[in-house]
Amino acid sequence: MSVKINRITLGIASIERTIQFYNIWIGIEPYEVTKDQVLYQVDNMTLSFVLLDKLANDADVNDESEGFDGVILSRIGNSIKSVDQMLRIAEKMGGYITKRASKTNKDKYSGYFSDLDGHMWEIVFYMKK
């Protein structure tokens, strides 16, 4: 079975500062910029930068809590059922669900868990309109 990490999300303090740094350091322009996030396409993966307080809120964790370092890895499921299944397996194996999967206002279905060492994961399915 081929497993692929689809997205790495890093918590940041400033959208403008991040764009300036990464545009020069990576040498590419973002493909999407909003008031809360900036997205870059790197090979077949998305490198995402989200304001730290928004990222923590989305994952239902405290951005000042011990253990949350502002990094979230993501796997994209191919259905709502697959998201639920991946989260169930993670929990069964000892992972801690920080946010049960649900539909968000952004037409996505996602949930979050931390693995055995506290690394955060988002499992997400993007629903088509």
Domains of the chain: 7-126 (3.10.180.10)
3-state secondary structure of 117: coil
The tokens for 10 are 């890093």
- Stated pTM of the model: 0.72
What is the separation of C-alpha 2 from the centre of its chain, rounded to a whole number of angstroms? 20
Give Cα separations from 120 to 1, 16, 22, 101, 108 (angstroms): 22, 25, 23, 14, 18
Average pLDDT over residues 91-98: 92
pLDDT of residue 100: 96
Q: Express each pLDDT in 60-72 by its tens digit.
A: 887 665 567 888 9
With tokens 């959208």, the residue in question is 15
Give, as one character, the DSSP assignment of residue 22: H
**Which amino acid type is present at position 8?**
I
